[in-house]
Amino acid sequence: MRVLITGAAGMVGRKLIARLAKDGTLSGRKIAALDLHDIVPPQAPALEGVGVTIHTGDLAAASAMERLVAPRPDLIFHLAGVVSGEAEANFDLGYRVNLDGTRALFDAIRLAGFAPRVVFTSSIAVFGAPFPDIIPDEFHPTPLTSYGTQKLMGEALLADYTRRGFFDGIGIRLPTICVRP
């Protein structure tokens, strides 16, 4: 199995890589290759018999995503993003990375013509506030920040590309406590 992780140098990315290195498998399949991408070089894990490739650069840069999906990963963890405070402070950067970068990745997959599993990290910021301790499925998303809006748009893209069969996508809404170490 070939796995691509965007945002691999962030907190969630580093924990995911450590877990993959410990297990060596995912869903019962041996990990044969790891492609790790971030704006800064992610740390390569020590995995015997696993090819690890480090990629650095801007997620939204022209043709960056085409190069990342060219090896046709079986599973893509899209963890990359500009987090809430920075996305609010730098409107253009937030939209360029969180929306344009996400769409560039999704389009690169679509245009490459293969259908991997895509795990997209979103945020509870899509709900705004206040919200209950337990958020039911029918709770209406009403983001109050640019970050929440960007993540909600990413979720909509994920759902549409999945509906169209371009990939098998799933989103996970994380609390806004996960930042780069």
Q: 92, exposed or middle or buried, with CB in 10 Å at 0-12, 13-18, 19+?
A: exposed
93 found inside a domain: yes
Q: What token pair was written down for 165?
A: 């069969």
31 found inside a domain: yes
179 found inside a domain: no
Predicted local distance difference test score (pLDDT) of residue 60:
86
Predicted local distance difference test score (pLDDT) of residue 62:
79
141 found inside a domain: yes
If one counts the domains in the chain, the total is 1
CATH of the domain at 56: 3.40.50.720
Predicted local distance difference test score (pLDDT) of residue 59:
87
The DSSP call for residue 39 is S
Rounded to two decimals, the pTM is: 0.94
181 found inside a domain: no
148 found inside a domain: yes
What number of other Cβ atoms are within 10 A of residue 160's Cβ?
12
Predicted local distance difference test score (pLDDT) of residue 49:
87
3-state helix, strand, coil in the chain (%, to 5): 40, 20, 40
Instruction: Give me the tens of pLDDT residue by residue for the chain, a chain 181 residues long.
Output: 999 999 999 999 999 999 999 999 999 999 999 999 999 999 999 888 899 999 999 988 878 999 999 999 999 999 999 988 899 999 999 999 999 999 999 999 999 999 999 999 999 999 988 888 898 989 999 999 999 999 999 999 999 999 999 999 999 999 866 555 5
Of the candidates 77, 120, 127, 147, the residue annotated as catalytic is: 147
Predicted local distance difference test score (pLDDT) of residue 181:
55
Q: Which candidate, 109, 101, 124, places its Cα nearest to that of 168?
A: 109
Task: Please confirm, yes or no, whether 147 is among the known catalytic residues.
Answer: yes
What is d(CA 158, CA 102) in angstroms, rounded to the nearest whole number? 9
Predicted local distance difference test score (pLDDT) of residue 180:
54
Q: Which domain holds residue 113?
A: 2-174
Predicted local distance difference test score (pLDDT) of residue 109:
98
162 found inside a domain: yes
